[in-house]
Each structure stands twice: as C-alpha cells, then as structure tokens.
Amino acid sequence: MELAGIPPEVIDAENKRRVEALNDEYDSLGRALHRRGRAIDAIKDKVKKLAVAIPTWGVGTGGTRFARFPIPGEPSNIFEKIEDCAIIQTLGRNTPTVSPHFPWDETPDPVELRDFAVEHGLGFDAVNSNTFQDRAGQARSYKYGSLTHADEAVRDQAIAHNISCIETGKKLGSKAITVWIADGTNFPGQSDMTGALDRYLDSTADIYAALPADWRLFIEHKLYEPAFYSTVISDWGTSVLCAQQLGPKAQCLVDLGHHAPSVNIEQIVARLARFGKLGGFHFNDSKYGDDDLDTGSINPHQLFLVFNELIEAEKRAGADGFHPAYMLDQSHNVTDPIESLMNSAAAVAAAYARALCVDRNALADHQSKNDVIMAFNALRRGYDTDVLPILAMARYEAGGAIDPIATYRASGWRARKAQTRKVPEIASAGIV
C-alpha cells in the first residue's frame, strides 16, 4: 500500500526552489506587521492550528443537475477518497480530518477504515446522514420527506439511519453528526408547515437521545432546493429555535451557500456564537444560490468578515473555549478536486490570517469614539494585508509544500492514479 502518496523528496525539491524567496517575503511582512503592532510569528502559530475538514464527496468531481464530467484517476470508493484527502493534508497541512457521508461511504468494517485513515495521517470529523435520496432496496421512499414525513414509518426509517450514522461515527472517532434534510414542499398547500416542523422536532429528539455525551448534533439549514416552495429547516432562525429546543448538544451549522442573496452572514455568525449555538461551517462560495463554488473565489471579503466575528467570539468565550467545526462543502465541476480543495483550505486560512492582522484594540477604540472611517480602516487594513507568506511559512514549517499546487503537479499523482484506478463511468446526474 502506498502511504502519504507524495514522496518527501518531491516536496523537498520543490520547497528548495522557493524557500529563499519565502524567507525574504516573510521577513519583510514581519517587519511591516511589527510596525503595526502585530507579531507575525503569533499569527503564524494560530494559522498552524487551523483545521478544516475535507468532505469525502468533495474529492470526486462534482457536477450540475445537467451533467458530471469525471476525470481519469479520480477516486471511486472511500479508501481512494482517503488517499486523496491525505495528499491535500500532506501538502497543505491544515486539513487533518475527513467528513464522511452515509450511505455513500458505507464500508463493512468502519474500524478498518479508521485505521486506514490513521495510517494516512487523517482522523474523522462530523459524520453526515443522507435521507435526501433513496437507496436501492430501501423499504420506504423519501420522495415526500424523511424526518418530517407524514408517515411515521418513513420517519422511523430516517431516524434509524441517523442513529446508525452515529454508531458508525463512534467507531471512526467522530464527535458530531451533521443533519441536513431536503424535506419541504413544491406547492402551497402540499403540507402543513407547523405539523412538518413538529415532526422534525420529534424525530430529531430521538436522534439527539442517541448522541454520546461528548458528541454534538449540527443542524444544517438551507433556504431552498430541492424543495422550491418551502423548506422545513430553511434558515438560521428555524435552526436556532430547533437547537434550543433540542438541548445543549444541538448547534447550528452555517453553510455559506445556504442563505438568501445579500444576507449578512457574518451577523448571523455573531448571533449564533453569542448564544453558544454556532456549531460549525460548511465553507464554499456562491454567486447566485447554493453554487458550491470554491471558498473565497467569489467573495473573499465576506469570508474575512466571518472570521473577524469568529475571532471576536473566541475572545469573548475566553477559557470556556470556542470550537466551531470547519469543513469545506464544494462541488468541483471543472477543476481537479485536489487542487480546488488545497486552494480552498488556503482561502480559509487566508481569511483567518487577515482577520488576525486587524489591530483589535485600535478597532475597539475607534468604535467607542464613533470614528467611523478609522474603524472601517482598521478592519480594512487587515483585509488588505498580503498574508500569503504567513500561510506558506506555516505549511513549510509543518512539513508541507510552500506551493501546494506546483508540488502536486510535479508529483504526477493524478496521472499515476489514472493507471491504477477504475476508469470513471460517464455519469449523468451530478448533484453532490
């Protein structure tokens, strides 16, 4: 079995070509930040601790509802997906965990899977249940809903699936389950909106009851799609009300693509954090809807503002700790998923580093004096900082690649896998 996948010599050779320039740029940025009262090494150390999970479904090519265009050498089972996640972690150093989706990633022996991941330097993040599709041989259909279905037998089947995901997650070493349901309606009158939410709360209480003491349940809301008139868990308000009713282990998950256009997501983040209900994120980007584009590719400023709120929330939480779970949730339709995911994890790190470059004492001072332009500029100064040398140095010191994509390409990983992995079938539907 091939471990890690990219020979250290390749990383070393690639890094050697770039380390002199990196040292020069890092030192120069360090001096500039020092003049602004910011310590570059402290920022770098925080960036080193940033951990963003990779979704197993993200390492395969995604697609639209029209088509999916697979690439040679892409993974076709959970073990191959783990191999690709290991490449991302080996080079990028800020994606130490994988978030599996069931039944897509079902395997007869989860302990074997956990061991395989550990050998590849990876652990498991939240498990994801899937009651938005029917699987072959399933007794009852989710066409008209799952946890909120009018028929108790369908609800029971969906509850049992979620509980089995928790059981598998326990064997994998996960500490959370993310529940996203597609339940909703396409026609006014199709269902009783209040009744559907009541049924959701009853069903989810059963899942909640099966959580181990140190687990969390993340409620992921989404405005629309596949339901186009109403969605049961449509927004952060519904999500937080349900999380409050369920109990302390239930928290809200913010997928950046799951909001109405122009919604102030950073303010939602601040609200949820204030009430201890911010469970985590699915990072991605969007232009029109739930586009699942690469994180930071459309609106990196919004991502920066989200991290600005996260740093504020962390400060307020103090010793109590504040540990939202970070994950990428993207669909890679026209790129090599490994390259997109490395770029995206770096985009998350960049947003975090830029927010760490903000002089928070100065910001607070300007705010207290209502000096609007200076408060804005204090924040903007952070955003305007080119933090790439910090990210590259953090990766380099952790044994990763100064330039992950160049190193990945130099390794020839995908071409090698195209020799040994199953040739992907022409797939029609592409929703991931």
Site residues (vs Mn ion, CB under 5 A): 255, 282, 290, 329
Taking CB under 6 A as the rule, does residue 124 contact ligand AFD? no
Place of tokens 């997109």: 340
CB of 178 to ligand AFD, least distance (A): 7
Q: Which CB sits closer to ligand AFD, 222 or 354?
A: 222
Taking CB under 6 A as the rule, does residue 57 contact ligand AFD? yes
Buried b (16+ CB within 10 A) or exposed e, 383-419: bebebbbbbbbbbbeeebbbbbbebbebbebbeebee
Binding mask 413-432 for ligand AFD (x = CB under 6 A): -------------------x
Measured CA to CA, the distance from residue 205 to residue 224 in angstroms comes to 24
CA-atom Rg of the chain in angstroms: 22
Binding mask 239-268 for ligand AFD (x = CB under 6 A): ----------------x-------------
Measured CA to CA, the distance from residue 420 to residue 53 in angstroms comes to 27
Contact 167, 160 (CB under 8 A): no
- Find, among 279, 303, 300, 296, the residue nearest to 330 by Cα: 296
Taking CB under 6 A as the rule, does residue 26 contact ligand AFD? no
Place of tokens 């010793």: 319
Q: Which CB sits closer to Mn ion, 125 or 255?
A: 255
Q: Which of residues 275-314 bind ligand AFD (CB under 6 A)?
A: 282, 290
Q: Which CB sits closer to Mn ion, 183 or 255?
A: 255
Q: Which of residues 162-181 bind ligand AFD (CB under 6 A)?
A: 180
Q: Which of residues 324-343 bind ligand AFD (CB under 6 A)?
A: 329
Measured CA to CA, the distance from residue 401 to residue 12 in angstroms comes to 8
Place of tokens 């938005």: 132
Among Mn ion, ligand AFD, none, partner that 57 touches (CB below 5 to 8 angstroms by kind): ligand AFD
Among ligand AFD, Mn ion, none, partner that 128 touches (CB below 5 to 8 angstroms by kind): ligand AFD
CB of 281 to Mn ion, least distance (A): 9
Taking CB under 6 A as the rule, does residue 128 contact ligand AFD? yes
Please count the CA atoms within 13 angstroms of the CA of 320 that sit on its side-chain side: 10
Measured CA to CA, the distance from residue 94 to residue 345 in angstroms comes to 7
User: Which member of 183, 220, 294, 336 binds ligand AFD (CB under 6 A)?
Assistant: 220
Place of tokens 């909703």: 184
Angle, CA of 141, 142 and 146, to the nearest 5°: 130
For residue 296, what is the DSSP state? Answer: T
Nearest residue (beta carbon) to ligand AFD: 180
Among Mn ion, ligand AFD, none, partner that 125 touches (CB below 5 to 8 angstroms by kind): none
Binding site for ligand AFD (CB under 6 A): 57, 128, 180, 220, 222, 255, 282, 290, 329, 432
